[in-house]
Amino acid sequence: MRTTSHVIALLGALVTAGACRPSPDAAQSAAPAVENRTVTPTRDEHSYAEPDVVAVTHLALDLALDFDTKTLAGTATLDLNWKNPTATTLVLDSRQLRIGGAEAGDGTTWTPAKVDIAEQDPVLGSKVTVTLGRQAPKVRVRYTTSPDASGLQWLTPAMTLGKKTPFMFSQSQQIHARSWVPLQDTTLVRFTYHAHVTSPKEAMVLMSANNDPTAARDGDYTFAMPQPIPSYLLAIAAGDLVFRPITDRAGVWAEPAMADKAAAEFSDTGRMMDTTEQLYGPYRWDRYDILVLPPSFPYGGMENPRLTFATPTVVTGDKSLVSLIAHELAHSWSGNLVTFATARDAWLNEGVTSYVENRVIEALYGKDRLDMERVIARNELASEFTPANVALQPLAIKPGVLKDPDDNLTSTIYTKGAWFMQFLEERVGRAQFDAFLRGYFDHFAFQSISTVQFVEYAQVHLLDANPGKVSRAEFDAWLNDPGVPATAPQTKSTRFDAVDAARKTWLATGTLASPALTKEWSTHEWVHFVEGMPPTLSPAQLKALDGAYALTGTANAEIAQRWYPLTIRSGYTAARPAIADFLSRIGRRKLVMPTYRALAQTADGLRFAREVFAKARPGLHPITIGSVETALAAKPAS
């Protein structure tokens, strides 16, 4: 890196950190802030952008959406805030984009600018350098996306519920926005946006912006996002989508055959919003709508502002998986409002959000339900802690550990992060902790902050403000040590005690629990029942369970995710047709990966997995394809 830009970067960081500090008081100046501030990230290791030189403040998209060519094509106009008065180059991120050219100007007159596109890095994409004759307030880039853009999926009509209209959607987090817009793809930059998108008339286009529930479907759509957002929250989707209101500020978009089911499943969304507002202050994003995607959506949910994207696999008919909505809604505070500075600080997004999610679930559905969700999450966390991933076990990841930011989607950032928050809450008291978090969201609203900044703020407003409750060493252990500290509060679930007893009796005697008991079981209890089984069962035992509960072929993907690996490990090939069906229907990475990994353990399983994957592949998202390919590339142990 050039020395001059390095100095400027450091200065930029000092200025940013200074601006973020709480109002000065005695305790603040006593905190070890100064030495820490020098380690505040100056650069995002996953972006080529140089926001300390020039920062994008507004994006105007003018795009044509074409299902036939699987492309978005048009222009992105970037408003620029030049921080360095002499600089004339704008560095942008891109991946797989075909860039036709760029111009610099003031919005009325434009002059051509020079564009250099560097060779593609497998993780980061291609650095784009736009060289201007002199500083200008705007740069306009002409481009077309690739049909294999890593952040977009294009679905044929056959891959939708309605089978008539094609579908497309984006998934920008973590660094895939650059595959559909040339921009500064870093959490350190926030911008507002406008968009004009044309599409075939049969498609409704939606964005992470001011979607109008009554918009005419005419193939010509405009959007405005007045609140500044980081690039990973930029989102678009198009398809045969209809709207169902839930409250006057919340609703559901889905394909017609899914719309009523989804609206019923998510009917508590208004109460979730009210509850979160009571805890942490007003919802600042105007509407909160949910878009239910086709089953190939690679994640459970994505907190795109004003328009959460959700997998259809949580629409189970009994609201048992709506913690997903509580989670994505919670990101409206932790994440979208107060954003992690770099992927290494991801726990600030996902951990705090999972804690808020837990609070909402407790408030709406009670402590019993929360306890079950906690036990399931913490069992998963425990199984994740292996000597191989010690570097990913601290909440605060060290620089250089994360090659691909998509790799930090661990239980650690979610479950250990939420557990840390619960620990703090129990030590200082609920009322004090609620006030702390609310103040934290207000203080850092619309900023991107690092773990160091969180620590500085917590030192003053949590540790010093509640003397004698949590020592700094206890606090730091959660952030910096692998595993879970001995200070962690333990959770027990009485409803799971009954499940454990039923499983134990069956394993010992072959006697199944009475239907009177199991008919009361929710998704959680079934998940726990299956997860607590020994690593393998005999085919006869599996057959007995199937006879009683029809687990093979279950419509509930959370249960399938646990059941199929057990059948595979046990050599119960009777489940194979159902497994093939599951893997070709569902594309949510978390749900399918355990089954692919279990299959990859034996030569025969691997053969079967490759066969199934070859058929499923055209319907899968690039993110899921990448993970499955990695899992199936490995040679089986035997």
**CB of 328: closest distance to Zn ion in angstroms?**
7
Residue closer to Zn ion by CB (options 77, 231) is 231
Residues 67-86 binding ligand BES (CB under 6 A) are: none
Q: Give 494's Cβ-side CA count (13 Å radius).
A: 3
* Helix residue ranges per DSSP H, 217-345: 256-265, 269-280, 323-330
Query: What single-letter DSSP state applies at residue 463?
Result: I
Region of 281-289, 294-302, 431-439, 471-479 interacting with ligand BES (CB under 6 A): 294-302
HSE-CB at 289 with a 13 A cutoff on CA atoms is 25
CA-nearest of 638, 617, 618 to 629 is 617
Task: For 189, list phi and psi in degrees, rounded to 5.
Answer: -120, 135
From ligand BES, Zn ion, none, interface partner of 517 (C-beta below 5 to 8 A by class):
none
* Residue choice 16, 47, 71, 173 for contact with ligand BES (CB under 6 A): 173
Our CB check for ligand BES shows the closer of 139 and 381 to be 381
Q: In the complex with ligand BES, which residue's Cβ is closer, 319 or 331?
A: 331
Q: Which is nearer to ligand BES, 303 or 425 (CB)?
A: 303
Given the complex with ligand BES, which of 74 and 295 has the nearer CB atom?
295
How many of the chain's residues bind ligand BES (CB under 6 A)? Answer: 16
Amino acid at 386: T
Binding segment toward ligand BES, per CB under 6 A, in 57-65, 90-98, 301-309, 456-464 = 301-309
Among 265, 328, 456, 525, binds ligand BES (CB under 6 A): 328
Residue 299 binding ligand BES, by CB under 6 A:
yes
**Residues found near Zn ion in the complex (CB under 5 A):** 350, 353
Segment 356-415, which members bind ligand BES (CB under 6 A)?
Answer: 406, 409, 414
- Per the residue annotation, which of 355, 414, 457, 596 is the catalytic one? 414
DSSP-derived secondary structure letter, 513 = P
Asked if 312 and 295 count as a contact pair (C-beta separation under 8 A), the reply is yes
Give the rounded distance of the alpha carbon of 176 from its chain centre: 12
DSSP bridge partners of 472: none
Q: How far is the CB of 104 from ligand BES (least distance, A)?
A: 33
HEC assignment per residue over 227-238: EEECHHHCCEEE
Alpha-carbon distance of 152 to 364, in angstroms, equals 35
290 or 609: whose CB is closer to Zn ion? 290
Residue 420 beta carbon to ligand BES: minimum distance, rounded to whole angstroms: 16
Pairing label, strands 204-207, 138-144: unpaired
Are 299 and 589 in contact, with CB atoms under 8 Å apart? yes
The option from ligand BES, Zn ion, none interacting with 301 (CB < 5 to 8 A, set by class) reads ligand BES
Q: Are 44 and 52 in contact (CB under 8 A)?
A: no
231 binds ligand BES (CB under 6 A): no
Q: Which of 172, 554 has the CB closer to ligand BES?
A: 172
**Neighbour-count burial of 558, counting CB atoms closer than 10 A to its CB (0-12 exposed, 13-18 middle, 19+ buried):** buried
Residue 361 vs 551, nearer CB to ligand BES: 361
Asked if 258 is part of the footprint of ligand BES (rule: CB under 6 A), the reply reads no
Q: In angstroms, what is the minimal distance from the CB of 268 to Zn ion?
A: 19
Q: Which of 37, 327, 524, 621 binds ligand BES (CB under 6 A)?
A: 327
Q: Is 27 helix (H, G, I), strand (E, B) or coil?
A: helix
Give SS3 for 148: coil
Kindly name the residue from 103, 303, 328, 357 that is annotated as catalytic. 328
Nearer Cβ to ligand BES (166/301): 301
DSSP 385-430: --GGGGGGSSSSPPTTS-SSGGGG--HIIIIIHHHHHHHHHHHH-H
Residue 185 binds to ligand BES (criterion: CB under 6 A): no
Any contact of residue 498 with ligand BES (CB under 6 A)? Answer: no
Of all residues in the chain, what percent are helix, strand and coil, respectively (each to 5)?
Answer: 45, 20, 35
Contact call for residue 300 and ligand BES (CB under 6 A): yes
Task: Pick the closest to residue 124 from 229, 63, 43 (CA basis).
Answer: 43
User: Please, what is the minimum distance in Å from the beta carbon of residue 73 to ligand BES?
Assistant: 26
What is the nearest approach in angstroms of ligand BES to the Cβ of residue 171?
Answer: 7
Question: Of 95 and 327, which has the nearer Cβ to Zn ion?
Answer: 327
Judged by CB under 6 A, which stretch of 46-54, 324-332, 465-473, 518-526 contacts ligand BES? 324-332
Residue 303 within binding range of ligand BES, rule CB under 6 A: yes
Q: Is 587 in the site for ligand BES (CB under 6 A)?
A: no
d(CA 70, CA 147): 5
Instruction: State CA 141 to chain mean position distance.
Output: 28
45 is catalytic: no
Applying CB under 6 A, which part among 40-48, 53-61, 296-304, 605-613 lies near ligand BES? Answer: 296-304
CB of 49 to ligand BES, least distance (A): 19
Query: Which residues partner with 76 through β-bridges?
Result: 61, 141
Q: Which stretch binds ligand BES (CB under 6 A): 179-187, 297-305, 431-439, 592-600?
A: 297-305
Helix (H) or strand (E) holding 140: strand 138-144
Closest contact distance (angstroms) between CB of 20 and Zn ion is: 23
* Residue 48 interacts with which of Zn ion, ligand BES, none, CB < 5 to 8 Å by class: none
Counts for the chain of helices (H) and strands (E), in that order: 22, 20
| Residue 295 is a binding residue for ligand BES (CB under 6 A) | no
Report the nearest approach of ligand BES to the CB of residue 114 (Å): 34
Instruction: Determine which residue in the list 331, 344, 369, 562 makes contact with ligand BES, applying CB under 6 A.
Output: 331
Question: From CA 424, how far away is CA 427, in angstroms rounded?
Answer: 5
Name the residue number minimizing CB distance to ligand BES.
300
Largest Cα–Cα distance of the chain, in whole Å? 83
Residue from the set 174, 231, 334, 552 that interacts with ligand BES by CB under 6 A = 174
Give the amino acid at 479: L
Neighbour count for residue 456 (Cβ, 10 Å): 23
- SS3 for 278-346 is HHHCCCCCCCEEEEECCCCCCCCEECCCCEEEECHHHCCCCCCCCHHHHHHHHCCCECCCEEECCHHHH
Q: Which of 41, 301, 312, 619 binds ligand BES (CB under 6 A)?
A: 301
Q: Could you confirm whether 119 is annotated as catalytic?
A: no
Tokens of 198: 């044309």
Q: How far is the CB of 297 from ligand BES (least distance, A)?
A: 9
Residue of 76, 115, 233, 302 interacting with ligand BES (CB under 6 A): 302
- Tokens at 595, concatenated: 């089954």
Q: How far apart are the first and last CA of the chain?
A: 47
Q: How far is the CB of 327 from Zn ion (least distance, A)?
A: 6
Between CA 571 and CA 539 the distance in angstroms is 7
Would you tell me which residues interact with ligand BES (CB under 6 A)? 173-174, 299-303, 324, 327-328, 331, 350, 406, 409, 414, 590
User: What are the residue numbers of the active site?
Assistant: 328, 414
